[in-house]
């Protein structure tokens, strides 16, 4: 069963790359494409955790999911900064 799950996880990772490209084409936003890719990577990590995982695979899945949360939070923060009037503004060229 573990071999099937590993194969499924790899397949989902590949699908995620293509879906992220499609999302970028749809929205023309790197942020949205990255969010889609992270969703698919989470699904792949969940598949890897099913079955009979070893300590190594558990730690790797936890690291991927933590990284995903970190990136997602930073993306959310950057978009909030762009939409909030008092937030950080893009740097203007020096005069």
Q: Which residues bind other proteins (CB under 8 A)?
A: 1, 5, 8, 12, 15-16, 18-19, 21-23, 25-28, 32, 35-36, 39-40, 42-44, 46-47, 49-51, 53, 55, 58, 61-62, 65, 69, 72
CA atoms within 13 A on the CB side of 72: 14
What's the closest the beta carbon of residue 8 comes to other proteins, in angstroms?
5
Which CB, 22 or 77, lies closer to other proteins? 22
Which CB, 54 or 92, lies closer to other proteins? 54
Which own/partner contact pairs does 35-42 have at CB distance under 8 Å and 24+ positions apart?
35/72, 35/75, 38/68, 38/71, 38/72, 40/12, 40/13, 40/15, 40/16, 41/13, 41/16, 41/68, 42/68
What's the closest the beta carbon of residue 92 comes to other proteins, in angstroms?
26
What's the closest the beta carbon of residue 85 comes to other proteins, in angstroms?
18
What's the closest the beta carbon of residue 5 comes to other proteins, in angstroms?
6
CA 44 – CA 38 distance, rounded (Å): 10
For residues 35 and 15, the answer to whether their CB atoms sit within 8 Å is no
């Amino acid at each position: 069963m573990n071999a099937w799950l590993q194969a499924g996880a790899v397949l989902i990772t590949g699908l995620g790359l293509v879906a992220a490209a499609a999302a970028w084409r749809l929205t023309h936003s790197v942020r949205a494409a990255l969010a889609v890719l992270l969703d698919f990577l989470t699904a792949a990590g969940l598949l890897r955790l099913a079955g009979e995982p070893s300590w190594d695979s558990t730690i790797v899945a936890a690291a991927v999911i933590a990284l995903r949360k970190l990136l997602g939070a930073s993306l959310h923060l950057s978009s909030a900064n762009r939409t909030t009037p008092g937030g950080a503004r893009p740097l203007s060229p020096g005069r």
